[in-house]
Amino acid sequence: MKVLFLTSYYPPFLENFFKQHDCSTLSFDQTLNKLLEQFFADTGSLFHYTGKAGNETFLIIANCEPLQKKWANENNVTYTDNWFLEIPYAQIKAFKPDVFYLEYVTEFFGEFASSVSPFCKKIVSWISSPLDANAKLNNIDLVLSSTPDFVESFRKQGIAAEYMHPAFDPRILKKVNNPQEKTISFSFVGGWSDVHINRKAALNELAKRTPIKLWGYNYKKNYSKLELSYYKDLLKSENAAVLKAYNGEAWGLEMYDIIQRSLITFNIHEALLKGHVGNMRMFEASGMGTMLLNDEGTNLSSLFEPGVEIETYKTIDEAVEKVKYYIANPTKAIEIGKKAQQKTVNEYNYENYVKILFSHLKRLF
């Protein structure tokens, strides 16, 4: 089967990557491979293991301007200032996939998906974030999601949808020399934004009451001097404890290294999951062999055994007590992390994930 994946990468990550790596003389394929060696996000892993399973694959990182323009130049494709849409259109037209696998990049839904549909037998999308009102799904043949409520909602709209939880890429373990000494007692790696209501409340409390160290994006805001918040921030930060615990952004292999060096890492889900758990962080942390302190969920025991492969909490007070307990008893935390790693590497790996994915895809034909 021919499968084309389209995704986008976090712009600061791309900017930092090209500052650190001179790709000016490299081809499209060489530059793409160098990017994928960073293990940013999960689409690269899905691309790799789909190809390993015997399929013909192509990957578009739509907002990676240097990479996209390399492909265009190598294939004599002209483009204008609207290269962001023009080059992917040309790539899809040239590849003619059986399946166009569209990550949740809203600009490519609706009109764009309609324009490339003559070149694709089926269009499949992964959606696990709140749906933008402008993201039209009329050309999508199947939606995959790790949010069960989304699956039910799509089905009620007459859109075919299937639940799939994320996976872990065991190749990462060799890239970061796993395992390493646990030099970070308690960590959290993830963003800080308006959609993270539960997360922000929890991290504010944990930063005051535990030795948590934080990495991620949006923790520090650049206020205009015309805004009142600018002057408030000069006097006293609204999230002083959080900012004191903050250590900057971390992506790809650096993120995985931080997780693996953590004795305990924290996780919390938002209300949109309606009591279900199963975000990417659960599989990143367990795959790295780190004990995950996770909010309880109705389906958690179907993924990991509480108290054996994962530790849970119902309230932040309980989370604080468990952090203190496992810091005082590190061998117990390490043992839980090792058992979680065994489960994830053996069961929740991308080879198994691709088998499940293709069981859904084959039903479309």
Q: Would you list the domain boundaries of the chain?
A: 2-167+349-364, 171-347
pLDDT digits (tens, 9 = 90+) for 250-260: 999 999 999 99
Judge whether 2-167+349-364 and 171-347 match in fold: yes
pLDDT digits (tens, 9 = 90+) for 22-65: 999 999 999 999 999 999 989 999 999 999 999 999 999 999 99
Q: Which of 86-95, 144-153, 200-209 has the lowest mean pLDDT?
A: 144-153
pLDDT band at 278 (very low <50, low <70, confident <90, very high): confident
Indicate the pTM of the whole model.
Answer: 0.92
The CATH superfamily of 171-347 is: Glycogen Phosphorylase B; (3.40.50.2000)
pLDDT digits (tens, 9 = 90+) for 78-107: 999 999 999 999 999 999 999 999 999 999
- Count other C-beta atoms under 10 Å from residue 29's C-beta: 11
- Count other C-beta atoms under 10 Å from residue 129's C-beta: 14
More confident residue, 297 or 85: 85
> Which CATH number among 3.90.79, 1.10.4160, 3.40.50, 1.10.10 corresponds to the domain 2-167+349-364?
3.40.50
- Count other C-beta atoms under 10 Å from residue 310's C-beta: 25
Output the 3-class SS for the chain: CEEEEEECCCHHHHHHHHHHCCCCCCCHHHHHHHHHCCCCCCHHHHHHHHHHCCCEEEEEECCCHHHHHHHHHHCCCCCCCCHHHHHHHHHHHHHCCCEEEECCCHHHCCHHHHHHHHHCCEEEEECCCCCCCCCCCCCCCEEEECCHHHHHHHHHCCCCEEECCCCECCHHHHHCCCCCCCCEEEEEECCCCCCCHHHHHHHHHHHHHCCCEEECCCCCCCCCCCCHHHHHHHHCCCCHHHHHHECCCCCHHHHHHHHHCEEEEEECCCHHHCCCCCCHHHHHHHHCCCEEEEECCCCHHHHCCECCCEEEECCHHHHHHHHHHHHHCHHHHHHHHHHHHHHHHHHCEHHHHHHHHHHHHHHHC
Tokens of 304: 């990991």
pLDDT band at 231 (very low <50, low <70, confident <90, very high): very low
Could you tell me if 333 and 286 are in contact, meaning their C-beta atoms sit under 8 angstroms apart?
no
Task: Give the Å distances, CA to CA, from 143 to 44, 231, 357, 361.
Answer: 19, 45, 11, 11
